[in-house]
Amino acid sequence: MSRFGIIRQRADALQRRRSLRVVVSLLVVTLAGWFFGTALVTRNTFDTRARLIDAAINGEDGAEYARVLRQTGQVDIGGETYSAPPGPLELLITSEDQITDPIRLVFLLLRDHVPAWMPSWLLVEQTTAWTLLISTVVLGLLTIWLGLLVPAFMALCLGGLGALLAWVIGADAWVLPPLAMAGLFLVFLVLTDVASTLLARPIGWCAVAHTLLKEASRTRLSLGFVIVLLVVLPLLPLTINLDGPLRHAIQAYLGRSIGFTFLLLAIMTVALTCSTVAFDVRDRYIWHIVTKSLDRFSYMLGKSAGVVILNAIILLIAGGWIYGYVQYMRHLPVPPTLAGAADQVAIDEEVLVARDVIRPEYEQMAESEIRSAVDRVIENDPAYVDYVDTDVPLAVRRRIRKKVIEDFDWTRRRVASPQDRATDPWTTVHFHGLGAAKDAGNVRLRFRFYGGASDEHDRRLVGFTVGKETAPGLVGAFIPTVKQYLDIPGKAINDNGTLSVTIANLTQHAVPPGSGWRGPADIVPLSQASGPLQPFSLIWLEEDFEIVYPSGGFDANLGRALIVLWIKLAALALIGVTLSIFLSFPVACLATLTILAGASIAPWLARALGMTIPMTASSVDWANIGQVIQWAVESFVRTIAEGMVYILGAYGEFQPTEDLVQGRRVSWHVVGSCLLRLGLIWGGISMFFGWLIFRQRQVAIYSGGQ
């Protein structure tokens, strides 16, 4: 045995001693309690002292406290002495002993009561501190009592050496990643060991899942994906540009980290599910498993469960790291300007939040109106003069019908120019389903208008009113093609949960100096009045006019998004196991990846199909061979595309990452729908057909020539 092997054997024997485990357990609990407990106690003490100081400086004796503080640089409040440097005090306290900014003064007086080594984000986020305290203690104790002290010590030593090297050479940005990699890999070892221990039961499918987890943590195929993920996740923050707005950096990190995690896990799921079954058949292991001791459905269930549990472990690790780093990013300093303050508000109210989105319910065009409009087009448009007294081909009617509906759709999302005498220069849209938002405080109207030259450097006037068109409203500037918002009080929502918003086109008026919304104003008469500028119509896309309001926190929203991704991976695992039952490893991988690709693009394919109208058989000139071939090819391709959309469309409809990045709520309804459509229907059908094929297959017959 090599010297390293001897050292490893002795270290393993040492870690099994109960006395050592008890001592190390006490050390872990003490250190974790001291570090995170200090953060929690400091935060509580800080809050208590802040309330006392705030009550003192804003009370009846506030001027006296301000005078003493301005003259001496220190003040006694509640039996504690607080001090502050004279420079900032001159800005916060006037010569008449008036405090200009009480909140900043409180923080200034308490600056020496916060440990310098304590991360500020840990002090602010008490929930995160409690979570880290509990997680550290639990993972530490599991590492000790599961016999993982040796690999934990090795991983932490390697991570510490990498961090030390980065610190020595002055690469401060590279100090954290080695430690994070070591920590994430250690958590992976602990969780997989816990899962393996729980699955070590005399139950058929549990035994198969237990074996697969052991295989995944030891073989190069799956372990390679895990290592790549655990290495890349701590490095992703280095790719984020922090020079721009912080909210954009957080959104970029969320999109990249979650997107990369899902992509890598999807590829790993395909490779692992296809290899574990196909290689069992190839290497004849399956002969001794399913011929006597284990029924075939339990074998399939165990393989699928093993991959699903492995994905849950990795998603839990990745989600915990992403959540922790986002909490760190949200407390990074922003510029002390108005833009910086707006950026911080946007992070808390638009990005790291769960908001419901309600869009208007537009007027629908009746079927009789559509037919009448199509007939008018055929009668009045010179392009269709040949069809006035003859039967109109169905393809032509479909094309005209599509154009009529599109034109009507644009009129619903358009505010006419004041120069258009045929239409009023204002329009009213109606929102429904806002009952839950009535008591939520303000709701936010988000909009983005297009019009004129759609120049981002142009500023024009627009008016909004809530309720009746004649009610007083607000006027303000908008920038074409740029997203903007307007806060609306929740009390403006009717008891039945409806809200009417009128938009008035005021582009003929010059924008007054200053910024913000002004009112009350009679926007309807104002829209009809003349102005010095050339007006233009306002239009918006369907997704660019909506009401948003908070309905939850970021942490729960992240959890629901990860559950949706986990269900999608589970459905992919069930399909991979089914295909590998009767296909070889490379063919099963190719087939599963093809299904994954088709399912991912199904929503865009459905949109493309809706925008094309194929030639009908009745309109084909059968004497024209070229036209017949074109019709046959188009019909064949469309049939395949429609089949793909019908079968695979559900997989691509669930995109929780985009909702999370945009601060939209991933509801439990979405989670349940995903579980029903992908987990139960997709997975159930896949497992059923796989079982039918597997029970008919003679696995003990091998003709591979070996």
Q: Distance of alpha carbon 243 from its chain centroid, rounded?
A: 22
Name the DSSP class of 510: P
Centre a 10 Å sphere on the Cβ of residue 103 and count the other Cβ atoms it contains.
10
Per-residue pLDDT tens over the stretch 598-642: 777 766 666 666 556 566 666 666 677 776 777 777 777 777 766
Each residue's pLDDT tens digit, 100-141: 777 777 777 877 777 777 777 777 777 888 888 898 899 888
Which region among 49-53, 279-283, 360-364 has the lowest average model confidence (pLDDT)? 279-283
Q: Residue 570 — pLDDT band, cuts 50, 70, 90? A: very high
pLDDT tens-digit map of 84-98:
777 777 777 877 777
CB 207 within 8 A of CB 215: no
When pLDDT is cut at 50, 70 and 90, the band that residue 99 belongs to is: confident
pLDDT at 159: 87
pTM: predicted TM-score of the whole model, two decimal places: 0.79
Residue 563 reports pLDDT greater than 90: yes
- pLDDT for position 387: 63
| pLDDT, mean of residues 65-76 | 81
Q: Which of 270-284, 356-370, 636-650, 671-685 has the lowest mean pLDDT?
A: 636-650
- State the number of CA atoms in the 13 A half-sphere of 502 facing the CB: 21
Distance CA 670, CA 666 (A): 6
Find all residues with CB under 8 Å of 160, minimum gap 6, and list them. Answer: 178, 179, 182
pLDDT interval class at 703 (50, 70, 90) = very low
Q: What is the pLDDT of residue 706?
A: 45
Q: Does residue 368 contact residue 401 with C-beta atoms inside 8 Å?
A: no
| Omega before 178 within 30 of 0, i.e. cis | no
Give me the percent of the chain exceeding a pLDDT of 70.
Answer: 89
Reported confidence tier of residue 569, pLDDT bands at 50, 70, 90: very high
Predicted local confidence at residue 170, as pLDDT: 83
Kindly report, residue by residue over 402-454, the tens digit of the pLDDT. Answer: 788 878 888 888 898 888 877 888 888 999 888 878 776 778 888 999 988 88
Please give the Cα distance from 581 to 596 (Å, whole number): 18
Strands (DSSP E) along 518-663, which ranges?
518-521, 538-539, 545-550
Express each pLDDT in 197-224 by its tens digit. 888 887 878 888 888 888 887 777 778 8
Query: Cβ distance 665 to 557 under 8 Å?
Result: yes
Compute how many other C-beta atoms are within 10 angstroms of the C-beta atom of residue 228.
13
Q: What is the mean pLDDT of residues 355-372?
A: 84
Mean pLDDT, the chain, rounded, equals 82
- What count of other Cβ atoms lies within 10 Å of the Cβ of residue 500? 18
Secondary structure element (H or E) that encloses residue 460, with its range: strand 460-466
Arithmetic mean of pLDDT, 511-534: 84
* Confidence at residue 607, expressed as pLDDT on a 0 to 100 scale: 64
CA distance 326 to 249: 10
Task: Please state the rounded mean pLDDT for residues 228-233.
Answer: 90
Given a cut of 50, whether residue 705 has pLDDT beyond it is: no
Backbone angles phi, psi at 73, to 5 degrees: 80, 5
301-337 residue pLDDT tens: 888 999 999 999 999 999 999 998 998 888 888 776 7
Mean pLDDT for 233-250 is 87
Least confident of 12-21, 116-125, 293-302, 652-661: 116-125
Question: Could you tell me the two tokens for 247?
Answer: 């909210």
Q: Is the pLDDT of residue 161 over 80?
A: yes
pLDDT tops 80 at residue 651 = no
Q: Which residues pair with 485 in a beta bridge?
A: 446
Q: How far apart are CA 366 and CA 248, in angstroms?
A: 43
pLDDT at 704: 47
Query: Is it the case that residue 483 has pLDDT exceeding 80?
Result: yes
Could you give the domains of the chain? 1-136 (no CATH), 137-265+284-356 (no CATH), 367-412 (no CATH), 415-550 (2.60.120)
Checking if the pLDDT of 643 tops 70, the result is no
Determine the average pLDDT of the residues in 656-674.
Answer: 88
